[in-house]
Amino acid sequence: MGGGRGRRSNPAGDSIPQLCHRTPGVPIDVPVPTPPHVPQPRPPRPHCCVSLQASCSVSPQDLAVPNAGWSAAMCEQYQRLLRCTTNGSWRRIPSYRRGLDHLPEVLQMTVDPGPGPRLFLRNVDAEGAGFEYAIFLHASGRRTRCLCQVGPYLEGHQGFAHGGAIATLVDTTVGTCALAAAKMSAMTAKLSISYLAPVPLGAVVVADSRVEQHEGRKIFLSCQVCDTQRDTLYAEATALFIQVEDNNSPPSPAACPQR
């Protein structure tokens, strides 16, 4: 016979089926029930408690500052925009890996950021490979300016940034402006973009956004993406954001802690 059965002969010459692997006490040809799988609880992720007065052992790292992946043009433009903050007309907004790091009133913060949720623009760890950017907020709270270097991981057509990457840059720039104007949470309701010229990978661009109208919970904005010399207009957009009125709304960027 095939499979797991063999045969042996007894003195009477009868052929007796024999199991190669038989569980003691279980009749032949009766399947052994498989015990149900019991899921093991996951070990808790390490965390520590923090407050406004006490700091955690691991502080959020502000990533909107120069690093080894920034080009000379990116650093030069960053310093130029940073000088505009000395008289109080503009303010640099810190940028962290996670949205919760912008909320100082949160009482628990994960020590190890690990593989958990991240801001979309901060989902690449390699310096210079993805979005390298810094956002500046006007004192009026109705204008934002985003300086961005487009990394090689954002490629769409060979040698140029993916249109979705430019849309993300625009959405982030106008979204920061909308949050500052709303002074509460606001979400994208409509975003319309006209792509006028492809953005080369490695290029340094400036996205300028402003509030055009604020009606109740509706915030209408515009945005232009240009090169740093304002010679090339890569894209222009209009957006509509809606204020989200709930008790868990994050603060506006103007309320975010400075580095």
Residues 182, 200: Cα–Cα separation, whole Å: 34
Q: Domain holding 147: CATH number?
A: 3.10.129.10
Q: Is residue 28 part of a domain?
A: no
Number of domains composing the chain? 1
Q: Which residues span the domain enclosing 190? A: 62-95+118-255
pTM of the model: 0.71
**What tokens were used for 68?**
């080894």
Q: Do the beta carbons of residue 86 and residue 239 sit within 8 Å?
A: no
From residue 169, how far is each of 69, 109, 122 by CA, in Å?
18, 27, 12
Q: Is residue 244 part of a domain?
A: yes
pLDDT tens, per residue, the chain with 259 residues: 444 444 444 444 444 344 344 444 444 454 545 555 555 554 444 443 333 333 444 578 999 999 999 999 999 999 999 999 999 999 999 999 988 787 765 544 445 555 678 899 999 999 999 999 999 999 999 999 999 999 999 999 999 999 999 999 999 999 999 999 998 889 999 999 999 999 999 999 999 999 999 999 999 999 999 999 999 999 999 999 999 876 554 544 444 444 3
Q: Is residue 249 part of a domain?
A: yes
Which member of 14, 171, 208, 227 is catalytic? Answer: 171
Residues 94, 23: Cα–Cα separation, whole Å: 66
Q: Is residue 134 part of a domain?
A: yes
From residue 147, how far is each of 126, 136, 216 by CA, in Å?
18, 8, 30
Residues 108, 80: Cα–Cα separation, whole Å: 37
Residues 228, 146: Cα–Cα separation, whole Å: 11
Judged on CB neighbours under 10 Å (0-12, 13-18, 19+), 92 is buried
- Does residue 227 have an active-site annotation? no
